[in-house]
A and B are shown apart, each in its own frame.
Chain A
Amino acid sequence: MGNAILVVAEHDNSQLKSATLNTLQAAVELKAQGAGAIELLIAGQGSNAVVEQAAALPDVDRVLVADADNLAHQLPEEVSTVVINLLESGDYGYLLAPATTNGKNLAPRVAALMDVAQVSDITEVVSADTFIRPIYAGNALAKVQSHDALKVITVRTTAFAAVAETGGAAEATTLDAPAALGISSFVGEELSVSERPELTSARIIISGGRGMQSGDNFPLLEAVADKVGAAVGASRAAVDSGFVSNDMQVGQTGKIVAPDLYIAVGISGAIQHLAGMKDSKVIVAINNDEEAPIFNVADFGLVADLFEVLPELEKALA
Chain B
Amino acid sequence: MKVLVAIKRVVDANVKVRVKADNSAVELANIKMAINPFCEIAIEEAIRLKEKGHASEVLVVSIGPDACQEQLRTALALGADRALQIKTEDSPEPLAVAKLLKAVVDQEQPGLVILGKQSIDGDNNQTGQMLAALAGMAQGTFASDVEIDGDTLQVTREIDGGLQKVSLKMPAVVTTDLRLNEPRYASLPNIMKAKRKPLETHTPEDLGIDISPRQTLLEVTTPPERAAGVKVSSVSELVEKLKNEAGVL
Q: Which residues of A contact B (CB under 8 A)?
A: 73, 75-77, 80, 100-102, 104-113, 115-121, 130, 134-148, 182-192, 200, 204, 228, 236, 239-240, 245-247, 252-253, 255, 260-261, 271-272, 278, 281-284, 290, 295-303, 309, 312-313, 316-317
Contacts and interface: CB of A to CB of B under 8 A. Distances in A.
A300 B230 contact: yes
B229 A247 contact: no
Given A102-B160, A118-B126, A139 B139 contact: no
B234 to A, nearest CB: 8
A300 B215 contact: no
B162 A298 contact: no
A183 B98 CA distance: 20
B229 A141 contact: no
Indicate the member of A76, A136, A290 with the most B CB atoms within 10 Å: A136
Given A102-B160, A300-B241, A136 B26 contact: yes
Nearest to B142: A101
B178 interface: yes
* Interface of B (DSSP majority class): mixed
A84 B177 CA distance: 27
A261 to B, nearest CB: 4
Interface string B35-51: 00010000000000000
A111 B132 CA distance: 12
Contact of A183 (B125, B169, B178, B233): B169
B223 A140 contact: yes
Interface in B108-135: 117-118, 120-134
A137 B16 CA distance: 9
Contacts of B118: 253
Nearest to B239: A316
Contacts of A186: 164-167
B158 to A, nearest CB: 5
A298 B142 contact: no
Interface residues of B, number: 81
A187 B235 contact: no
B220 A147 contact: no
B220 A142 contact: yes
Contact of B139 (A105, A143, A204, A312): A105
A12 to B, nearest CB: 8
A132 B210 CA distance: 26
Contacts of A260: 248
A115 B42 CA distance: 26
Contacts of A184: 138-139, 166-169
Contacts of B236: 316
Contact of B129 (A76, A139, A253): A76
Contact of A302 (B11, B228, B238): B238
Interface of B: 11, 13, 16-17, 19, 26, 38, 93-95, 98, 117-118, 120-134, 136-139, 141-142, 144, 154, 157-169, 172, 177-179, 213-223, 226, 228-236, 238-239, 241-242, 246, 248-249
Nearest to A272: B13
A120 B163 contact: no
B141 A105 contact: yes
A39 B95 CA distance: 26
A136 B242 CA distance: 31
8 contacts: A109-B133, A112-B98, A112-B133, A112-B134, A283-B229, A295-B231, A297-B228, A298-B229
Contacts of A119: 215
B146 to A, nearest CB: 13
Contacts of B239: 313, 316-317
A240 B178 contact: yes
Contacts of B168: 183-184
A143 B249 contact: no
A275 B239 CA distance: 26
A146 B217 CA distance: 9
